[in-house]
Chains A and B, each alone.
Chain A
Amino acid sequence: MIFGSTPRRHSRCLLSAGIRSGLLALFGLLILAQPAWAYLDPGTGSYLLQMFVAVLLGAGVAVKVYWRKITAFLSSRRGGQPGKTHDDV
């Protein structure tokens, strides 16, 4: 389902929202330290931001993936059904 009314929960990872916000706020302070207004190439900033944010958010995805694997392994050991995979849309 692409645009259902129920919001999906993506942030079920070990890094709490608070820690993530804190880390990014710190990064934000660093990045905001030297404001510049020339509007030459907004693409560069977008790429660099992606690089930094991807490290943080990618770690969250990795934790989620391994967490799922662990819970699937444990549930299979207990004789239960492995967790269903689902469409991320």
Chain B
Amino acid sequence: MTGLRLISALLLAGATSANAAPFYVVVNEANSISSLSYGELSDLFLKKSSSWADGSLVEPVDQRESSPVREIFTRNVHRKSEAAVRAFWQLRIFSGRDIPPPEKGSDAEVIAYVRNNPNAIGYVSADISTAGVKVVAVHP
């Protein structure tokens, strides 16, 4: 199973090599943000930074741990292993500090969540349609 995930991740990374990042970061079309660095993205998804420029609450949405795109996102953006991110959230949860973003089971569910939530931000595989949401440029 782990091997299958790894192969999927490699295929996904290869298929999207023409993009700046091997995934799309998406926000609601009403959001004025146009680009984010990996560091800023990491802070948003780890809830170290919780507000958009207009003061509204950022609502990140994550992919399930079994998702290949999450593995790529975690490695590229957080520069951590899945285990390290999980430990980070355990520490946050059981010290009563925060809870992780909700998780969605597919790219389509992430797109739907972002389309319906003005403050949401998510990431999806770079080979799917992003109609109805806005793709944000990301850079290391």
Asked if A and B bind, the verdict is no
B contact residues vs A (CB 8 Å cutoff) = none
Query: Which residue numbers of A lie inside 8 Å of B, CB to CB?
Result: none
